[in-house]
Amino acid sequence: MENQPIINPSDISSINPPVNQPSIPPQIKSNLMMPILTTLLVSAVLFGVGGYYLGAQSSKTNSSQQQMEVSPSPYVTASPTSQEIKNEIPNSATGSWQLYTDAQLKFSLSYPDTYKLDYLQGQPYLNRVITWHVNDMLVKDQRGDGPIVQKEEIVSIPVVNTSRFSLEFGSVGGNIPHEEVWYQFANPHSTSAKDKYITIRLSSIPVLMTDEEINQYSGKTDTQKLNTETTKVFDQIVSILKLQ
């Protein structure tokens, strides 16, 4: 057997010299790091902007929801009918009006302080041209020598729907030809067929006449017309009537 040479461990380096790794110049390292840093910076900016936008949108939504919760709806109250608008009067216009309550028919109404309230055998008369009572039927259903219904309207007052009749009375039975306006509505406190309806009426001639007025109207054949201003006030009186 041939003798093998003995190798000293200290001599291995001389047999297999170490491989040196190539070194990277500093400029190249800097160029390699720039895209990474740029990507990180752009991501951070985008993340910040996105977070700010989402936060602003959330705040805006919450603010809108809060405003919707505390703001009353402009459509809560339903709109009045054209007839109700026509008959409405400002509170200032009726502030000095007198209040009348009918204990028997259980309603109250207000009237101008320039109007006078009279009674005849317990029957109220307002300014001698306005009165009220009960009926067993609507005037349009009456037969015989009754008034002629010129016009009928269905109108609304604060508590009930009512029929408004424009009437003309002739000279039958010695009557003075004249016009009247009647409001008639169902009596909520009716106890019999005789008081089924409440009637509030306006006449173009005094209901309670003095001797002088009787002589004045006696023999007249032309129809006495309603005064426009008086009719307007009458409509206003009925429009604020309140049932008990």
pLDDT tens column, 13-54: 444 444 444 555 555 445 556 666 666 665 655 656 555 555
Tokens of 29: 């390292």
Q: Is residue 15 part of a domain?
A: no
Helix (H) or strand (E) holding 100: strand 98-102
Q: Is residue 4 part of a domain?
A: no
pTM of the model: 0.61
Please tell me the predicted confidence (pLDDT) of residue 218: 84
pLDDT tens column, 50-77: 555 555 555 544 444 433 333 332 323 2
Q: Is residue 238 part of a domain?
A: yes
Q: Are residues 58 and 87 in the same domain?
A: no
Please tell me the predicted confidence (pLDDT) of residue 121: 79
Q: Are residues 56 and 104 in the same domain?
A: no
* C-beta separation of 221 from 177 below 8 A: yes
Please tell me the distance from the alpha carbon of residue 35 to that of residue 41, in angstroms, as a whole number: 10
Residue 102 belongs to domain with CATH number: 3.40.1000
Domain span at residue 31 reads 22-69
Number of domains comprising the chain: 2
Last residue of a domain, one of 37, 69, 101: 69
Q: Are residues 51 and 110 in the same domain?
A: no
Please tell me the predicted confidence (pLDDT) of residue 208: 82
Q: Is residue 26 part of a domain?
A: yes
Which of the residues in the chain have pLDDT under 50? 1-21, 28-29, 60-92
Please tell me the predicted confidence (pLDDT) of residue 225: 96
CB count in 10 Å sphere of residue 126: 22
Please tell me the predicted confidence (pLDDT) of residue 158: 73
Q: Are residues 44 and 155 in the same domain?
A: no
User: Backbone dihedral region of 128: left (phi > 0), alpha (psi from -120 to 50 degrees) or beta?
Assistant: left
Q: Are residues 109 and 221 in the same domain?
A: yes
Please tell me the predicted confidence (pLDDT) of residue 85: 30
